[in-house]
Chain A
Amino acid sequence: MAVLKDATAVVGIGQTSFAKQLPESERALACRAILAALDDAGISPDEVDALASYTMEETDEVEVAKALGLGDLTYFSKVGFGGGGSCATVAHLATAIATGQATVGVAWRSRKRGSGPRPWKNTTVQLPTPAQWTRPYGLLRPADEIAMLARRHMHEYGTTRDHLFNVALACRNRANQNPAAIMYDRPLTREMYMNSRWISEPLCLYDNCLETDGALACVLVSAERARDCRRPPVYVHSAAQGLPAQHHGMVNYWNDDPLTGPAWTAARHLWKHADFTPDDVDVAQIYDAFTALVPLSLEGYGFCGRGEGGAYTEGGALEIGGRLPLNTSGGGLSEAYVHGFNLITEGVRQLRGTSTAQVPGAATCLVTAGEGVPTSALLLRS
């Protein structure tokens, strides 16, 4: 049986600038990010034979392939569930390359979420299930759906707003070191956080990610080929998707334990195939559409016990020099929100040693996709 462990490597990353509004189309941004990633790898576009993206990606494979002059594609894949699919795009390419279905894969996400519409404002395409059980009551936005879990976590385990602030602050501090980050020149203080307006109590403005225009991409090849590429290879050590039994998506209110989400399922599979443990992770890029997802993910991926995710953030744990430096480019909260793809590229930079907030000697990185929806995760190593 072909194995995934260290069989493939990320050899190229690319991105556009990030802004509230970029003039170019999503299609043009996708093309620019992909070309940048291929150039970073030193691989010609006509060698690409595999693509992977999100089902929510609106630039399809045909458009990308014909605009960029890609070769004959023998593998293409799209993963559902919004930000839950980010790491799975890389995982699908790794699987395809490790099993001989393709040789050069590109994963990407291009999105004009900054200047485009907010998805929750669309009342005509709401899915009948589960929206019929939630939206008429004014549970309208992802922020509302996750705030419901956050309030319960606070009630059961004593998680506080200060814990959520610790998450927001760590991301902002890293963004303040990253010139590409939207919040590069905007420091955050506890006073600003505590006095900001509510979005969905108990979540305030700074508990919510940015709304960004931008695109990112990465290039995957076999470990053997990676040795000949322009940059040091970053190996896909382990990869997993997770859709738990009796899970209900973002409104996971109808099973035994709504606070045990898809992260737990993905984590079991991820660690089962890894040579190292959570204690050995040097730096983490954890999906942060909302601060409250980070404590839930810390628990799910085994960095602490059930209910301890809030307390884990204390004492600068998530800062550089802390026990788990978090979202070192600023994450979705403070660099850019492009469905978590910037967490993948930052994981690669950390293991190349080229992050703007470099963790000294980082050799292992966990990257996660959105918790609270069917999710995915990667363990990367240098």
Chain B
Amino acid sequence: MLIPVVDDDGAPFWEYAARGELRVQGCADCGELRFPPRPCCPHCRSFASEWRRVSGRGRVWSYVLPHPPLLPDYAEQAPYNVVLVELADAPRIRLVGNLVSEAGAGLDSVPVERIRIGARVQVVFTATALPQWVLERP
């Protein structure tokens, strides 16, 4: 499986994820949240930023079900789901992830018929600090 190739701006996201915390970069001056992380606030051009904890709740904005040809580790689980989750605390921030039955479960662990746009989801973290999502009402 691919692991995140982390850059300077994104590193804090993954450090917090390793502690089981979902945090989003925000401007320390004007307060606007932004994603993906970047060095400068596009609203006020401040270079001061902070990482704000969010509730980890969201809704499925869209999803796809990839089928082969895929990289081998992914092909083994195909078809699996990839969801785009709109954060309840910041609707314009949408995180790509997987809907799973429980933290660390396979990318195909939720039956396809259970996945729908608008479903409420909650973040969980794998042992390798990757955020995943479970249905609030499985």
Interface residues of A (CB under 8 A from B): 118, 121, 123, 126-141, 143-144, 147-149, 151-152, 155, 197-202, 246, 248, 251, 253-256, 258
Contact = CB atoms under 8 A, between A and B. Distances in A.
Contacts of A138: 66, 70, 74, 77, 80, 82, 98, 107
A126 B5 contact: yes
Contact of B97 (A137, A152, A255): A137
9 contacts: A128-B7, A137-B82, A140-B71, A143-B66, A151-B117, A152-B117, A253-B61, A254-B36, A254-B94
Interface string B92-126: 11111110000000010000000001000000000
Interface in B50-73: 61-67, 69-71
Nearest to A258: B94
B35 interface: yes
B127 interface: no
| Size class of the contact patch on chain B | 35 or more
B49 to A, nearest CB: 15
A107 to B, nearest CB: 32
Contact of B63 (A118, A134, A148): A148
B31 interface: no
B10 A128 contact: yes
Contacts of B35: 254
B62 A128 contact: no
B10 A129 contact: yes
Contact of A139 (B4, B69, B82): B82
Contacts of A200: 64-67
B4 A136 contact: yes
Among A123, A130, A197, A254, which residue has the most Cβ atoms of chain B within 10 A? A254
B27 interface: no
Among A143, A149, A198, which residue has the most Cβ atoms of chain B within 10 A? A198
B9 interface: yes
Nearest to A156: B117
B65 A135 contact: no
B89 to A, nearest CB: 15
A248 B77 CA distance: 28
A194 to B, nearest CB: 16
B92 A254 contact: yes
B62 A155 contact: yes
Across the A-B interface, give the 10 residue pairs with the lowest CB-CB distance, nearest first.
Answer: A128-B7, A201-B65, A132-B4, A152-B62, A147-B64, A198-B67, A151-B62, A253-B94, A139-B82, A138-B74
